[in-house]
Amino acid sequence: MSETNHQYSENYDKLIELREEVYNCKACSLATTRTKVVFGNGNPDADLMIIGEGPGANEDTSGIPFVGRAGKLLTECLEECNISRKHVFIANVVKCRACIINKTTNKNRPPTDEEINLCTPWLEKQIEIIKPLVVLSLGAPSARFMLNRKDIAMTKERGIFYKSRFSDNVIPSLHPSYILRNMYKDGDGGKSLLIKDIKSAISKVSELKGQVTENSEIITPNEVQMNIQTESKIDENKTDTNLKNDPTFGF
Ligand code: SF4
């Protein structure tokens, strides 16, 4: 087994172990209303981690982050940058759906500060295991947590790299749900900006991996994809816990 595969397997095993703990978490009241814990999904050895705010109804039902319309848009944006969900690890600040219980339908609400405080040690552990080179935070709540700031002006501050205690390279961007809400009134609602920020994140990964030469300032996403793919091969020797057979975690 190559060094890369060895590291990859280690991350995989650590995440599976952590996932079991998160699945049993009852630290906050969201445990009483959730259907499924949404741990996170993707490549355990990803160089790029994408972090949203928290699960909505579709995620709560499936246990998978960023499904439904917003998830479809995120997947589309990744594909426009020539990478896919299997090249990144996607997680949320809060792992269970925050909602207002209603007789007919439950309505999403933002998680409270207390819920965020109780839940974020799980995300911190995920970041500690995966050690992504770059973190793309989606939406203001995610950016606020990642940058430990209360005041984030997303329109002005997105697309810029910041240092935080989690990563030297955190780039805030627009949340796909925000883009969907704004699409009808403002051109593409910001989709092109999200794509731009994903491309910046990919270029930063390339730069950090030493792929930028004097003659090639811009690395094409295809090259990046190949590099991420090579670095992140699935350990085919895994049997009962093979990622490919694990829809909640794998791809
Ligand atoms: S939201 Fe987080 S802290 Fe609250 S029960 Fe779910 S996993 Fe635990």
What pLDDT, on a 0 to 100 scale, did the predictor assign at position 105? Answer: 80
User: Ligand 1 pocket check: which of 34, 115, 117 to mutate, most ligand atoms within 8 Å of Cβ?
Assistant: 115
Cα(21) to centroid(ligand 1), Å: 11
What pLDDT, on a 0 to 100 scale, did the predictor assign at position 9? Answer: 67
Which residue ranges have their beta carbon within 6 Å of ligand 1? Answer: 22, 25-28, 30-31, 37, 94-96, 115, 118-119, 122
CB-CB contact of 88 with 42 (8 Å): yes
pLDDT in tens, 180-235: 998 877 689 899 999 999 999 999 999 998 865 444 333 344 444 434 443 433 33
Closest alpha carbon to 117 in 97, 142, 87, 145: 145
User: Ligand 1 pocket check: which of 26, 30, 120 to mutate, most ligand atoms within 8 Å of Cβ?
Assistant: 30
> Looking at ligand 1, which residue's alpha carbon is closest to its atom 6?
96
3-242: what fold? Uracil-DNA Glycosylase, subunit E (3.40.470)
Mean pLDDT of the chain: 84
What pLDDT, on a 0 to 100 scale, did the predictor assign at position 29? Answer: 95
> Looking at ligand 1, which residue's alpha carbon is closest to its atom 4?
28
> Looking at ligand 1, which residue's alpha carbon is closest to its atom 2?
119
Closest alpha carbon to 170 in 149, 193, 190: 149
What pLDDT, on a 0 to 100 scale, did the predictor assign at position 99? Answer: 92
What pLDDT, on a 0 to 100 scale, did the predictor assign at position 185? Answer: 74
List, for the chain, all residue ranges whose pLDDT scores fall below the cut of 50.
1-8, 213-251
What pLDDT, on a 0 to 100 scale, did the predictor assign at position 231? Answer: 41
In angstroms, the Cα distances linking 120 to 26, 55, 98, 226, 239 are 13, 14, 14, 32, 31
d(CA 62, CA 203): 32
d(CA 99, CA 55): 10
What pLDDT, on a 0 to 100 scale, did the predictor assign at position 186? Answer: 64
